[in-house]
Amino acid sequence: MASLIVLSLLGIFLLFLGLGKNKKFYAPFGIIGLLIALVLQITNSGQHSPLLENMVQFDSLASVFSSSMLVLTLMIFLLGIEYYKDMPKNVAENYSLMLFSLVGGLLMTSFANMVTLFLGIEILSIPLYILSGSKKKSYRSNEASFKYFLLGSFASAFLLFGIALVYGVTASFDISAISRFCSTHSEGLPPLMTGGMLMIFLGLAFKVAAVPFHFWSPDVYEGSPTLITAFMSTVVKTAGFAALYRLISHAFSPLPESMIWMLWILTFLTLAVGNLSALWQSSFKRLLAYSSIANSGFLLLALLSGDPQSPGTILFYTFTYSLATLTAFSLFFSVKKSSQGSEQMEIFTGLWKNNPFLAIMLTFALFSLAGIPPLAGFFGKYLVFFSAIRQDFLWISAFAILMAVVGIYYYFSVLRFVFSAKENPITIQYPKTSMVVIILCGLLLVILGIFPSLILSY
């Protein structure tokens, strides 16, 4: 709770700081504020009682997901120092919008009432609509922003209609009351209730880009500024899955049979479409967009397996996926800058000869995304498959493993360029602050790959 207040005040403070036109201060102040919020979040984790008239509840689940989002935002701010160096104005607004969006993310992980869920999703999304259009003169950014806005508000209308129907049946927005209703009517829920649940899941599936509601995501990822794309594919994804998990485990348990079938079909489609369409991509940003859809598929599998360990698995998977994605985006941004803004995979040609250190870091990130041991991504995938197989979901697990193998192919197609013998005479400027971030991400990926219990013990 304290971290929510700190973040909101910090966002307002940065907005006022933006009047001063001294760009050097924004990111350091933001980072200090985020550190304070992180410390408050970690030290406060003992307090589990519901707050604000039963609206939010920072239980241990919420606080670990919130801490992981705070750490990721911290890294994005560090990358932002370099990213926004050449931007003439409105830098402070970008930072504070990211903070406001993070506040929405924290609400989504800790809601105890449908009203808070809705508000969290909107607080997360509305700043993102603006951020994805923050390159005002770029037509692609405009288009990404408008598409995201249109589909995002379309999806939240569905979510709202679902919430209204569930309210109509259960006469409450409180998730514990809804869960009581579900358990007393477990033999047959009224059709309005199932319809409401369906629409709520539909709205959230839009947010985590599950197939068939993924159409916005490659376009929006490609058109948005790279730093914002990194924010969307890490922090927003974590928030979305935390909210889905909380909804399934706290509000709609036990799920009706029809809903479980619908979600399995969603998982199957997400795994298939995400991985297979990534094979045809030539733009690196689009590749990462499809990779993010594919990873949603693996996360949905972990979510649906209903294993008692699945919250730990989801946390581990989202965190390691986010670290690897951040590294990839940060390197991509620097290389793109020195190759006249091209976003094709070809820009990585000869990176190994040009700059072996960056090539190794990119290899680490892609190996982790592909799930190659000993990196953390391998352990994340292993946990997902293990929990699904332990709950006897053999066919879908076998299919997911097959799709993970397909994943290795397209991540390696990037590495083919990195290690090709061709010369590529570009000089890559890699600043110290971003270096700190990728070294940190690389270290965490290796350490968590060898000692996964560091996160799983939570």
Partner 1 sequence: MEPIQTAIRVVPLEHYVILASALFCIGILGVLFRRNTIIILMCIELMLNSVTLLLAAFSAYHSDPAGQVFVFFIMVVAAAEVAVGLAILVMMKRNIDSIDINLLNRLKW
Residues in contact with partner 1 by CB under 8 A are: 115, 118-119, 122, 126, 129-130, 133, 136-137, 139-140, 142-147, 149-150, 153-154, 157, 160-161, 163-165, 167-168, 171-173, 192, 215, 218-219, 222-223, 277, 286
> Quick one: the chain helix, strand, coil %, rounded to 5?
80, 0, 20
Nearest distance from residue 123's CB to partner 1, in Å? 9
CB of residue 132 to partner 1, shortest distance in Å: 9
We find the least distance from the C-beta atom of residue 449 to partner 1, in angstroms, to be 33
Tokens for 439, please give them: 């070294």
Question: Is 7 or 126 the residue whose CB approaches partner 1 more closely?
Answer: 126
162's CB contacts (< 8 A; 6+ apart) are 195, 196, 197, 198, 199, 200, 201, 202, 203
Reading the block at residue 84, the tokens are: 């926004």
Closer residue to partner 1 in complex, CB, 145/318: 145
Closer to partner 1 by CB, 286 or 381: give it.
Answer: 286
Residue 339: exposed, middle, or buried by beta-carbon count in 10 A (0-12, 13-18, 19+)?
Answer: middle
Alpha helices in 391-431 (DSSP H): 394-418
Looking at residue 138, the DSSP 8-state letter turns out to be -
Q: Least distance to partner 1 from the beta carbon of 386, Å?
A: 33
Write out the H or E segment, with its range, that includes residue 363. Answer: helix 356-370
Sign of dihedral through CA atoms 27, 30, 34, 40? Answer: positive
CB of 109 to partner 1, least distance (A): 19
Q: Considering beta carbons, is residue 136 or 432 the nearer one to partner 1? A: 136
What's 348's DSSP letter?
A: G
Complex with partner 1: residue 143 or 346, whichever CB lies closer: 143
Token pair in block for residue 121? 């999703």
C-beta closer to partner 1: residue 218 or 240: 218
Three-state DSSP state, 254: coil
CB closer to partner 1 out of 114 and 437? 114
Q: Minimum Å distance from CB 215 to partner 1?
A: 7
271 or 375: whose CB is closer to partner 1? 271
Distance in Å, CB of 456 to partner 1, minimum: 36
- Specify whether the CB–CB gap between 428 and 62 falls below 8 A: no
Which one, of 419, 226, 445, lies nearest residue 334 by Cα?
226
| Least Å from the CB of residue 119 to partner 1 | 6
Residue 181: CB minimum distance to partner 1, A: 13
310: nearest Cα among 393, 370, 366: 393
Q: Which helix (H) or strand (E) holds 126?
A: helix 114-132
Closest CA to 106 of 251, 299, 292, 238: 238
Q: Which is nearer to partner 1, 126 or 326 (CB)?
A: 126
Burial class (CB in 10 A: 0-12, 13-18, 19+), 259: middle
